[in-house]
Amino acid sequence: MAVRQDQTDGGARRAVFSPVDNRARVDTVVRRLGDAIELGLLADGEQLPGETELAGRLGVSTVTLREALMALRQRGLLITRRGRGGGSFVSLPELPAEDRLRTRLRGWSTEELRDLGDHWAALSGAAARLAARRTEPEDLRQLRCTAEELRCAEDTPARGRLYGRFHVELAAAAQSARLTREQVALQGEVGALLCLVLSDDRCREEVADRQRGVISAVQDGDDQTAGTLAERCVRESTARLVAVRLAL
């Protein structure tokens, strides 16, 4: 059944629909919405706002938006229905088969993966420290839910999406729209590859434990511990991904 959410709830979702750079081309809008769909920030079957409203939220012309929506349809991320109750609806893609993910991973050198890990750790560490200083305990509900969902997730594609979503929501808890957008873009770049390491149940449980540790430190207002734990979570996951790359 199609879902329509007129009110975007939570900082992570608000970042999806915040204005893009006014110099942006169509591919910027495609990347923003496509990354959000890949991460599950926009739910499968969810109806996007109407073209005029969505163009206004993103700060682009309706012509630019229509071209972006067409590109997303061609990628299989959106479907369009005509008539009463019609519009653009999210179509969550199936995760590529493991051999396709491994082929994609071969395109990364170990140096590139380590460099990306450094960037990612810096983003998540900064987000965790800011969240510990700025957020209220009741604002951590979504983070807790995501960590718990990851702990229980049996489906490998779901694990990958939940892992990435946690870091996006951590940036949202830091009340930083820029950090949140950076995390969305980064997860769109590398998030699916993490399925290659999260398929292991022990790894999944270790990640969920680290995430709960980050949440506890944020709730306690311990910014240094929160930042250190968030960075460690990213670095260890990146190290596992590098190990997979070396084994190819």
- The 8-class DSSP code of residue 75 comes to T
CATH of the domain at 115: 1.20.120.530
Distance CA 28, CA 79 (A): 20
What per-residue confidence (pLDDT) applies to 90? Answer: 94
Are 108 and 129 in the same domain?
yes
Residues 243 and 140 grouped into a single domain: yes
Residues 129 and 178 in one domain: yes
Q: Are residues 159 and 234 in the same domain?
A: yes
pLDDT at position 216, please? 96
- Each residue's pLDDT expressed in tens, for the chain with a length of 248 residues: 544 444 445 667 777 777 776 555 788 888 888 878 876 778 889 999 999 999 999 989 999 999 999 999 988 889 999 888 889 999 976 655 577 778 888 989 999 999 999 999 999 999 999 999 999 888 899 999 999 999 999 888 788 889 999 999 999 999 999 999 899 888 877 877 888 889 889 999 999 999 999 999 999 999 999 999 999 999 999 999 999 999 98
Q: What does the alpha-carbon distance between residue 11 and residue 171 come to, in Å, rounded to a whole number?
A: 8
E strand spans, 1-125: 3-4, 46-47, 78-81, 87-90
Q: Say yes or no: 195 and 163 in one domain.
A: yes
96 by Cβ neighbours in 10 Å (0-12 / 13-18 / 19+) ranks as middle
Model pTM score: 0.72
Give pLDDT, residue 35.
76
CATH code where residue 12 lies: 1.10.10.10
Of 45, 74, 90, the residue that ends a domain is 90
The domain of 218 spans 98-247
Q: Strand, coil or helix: what is 80? A: strand
pLDDT in the model for residue 6: 45
The reply to whether 194 and 229 lie within a common domain is: yes
In terms of Cβ atoms closer than 10 Å to its own Cβ (0-12, 13-18, 19+), residue 20 is buried
Measured between alpha carbons, how far is residue 155 from residues 31, 37, 164 in Å? 25, 17, 15
Strands 78-81 and 3-4: unpaired
Q: Are residues 82 and 121 located together in one domain of the fold?
A: no
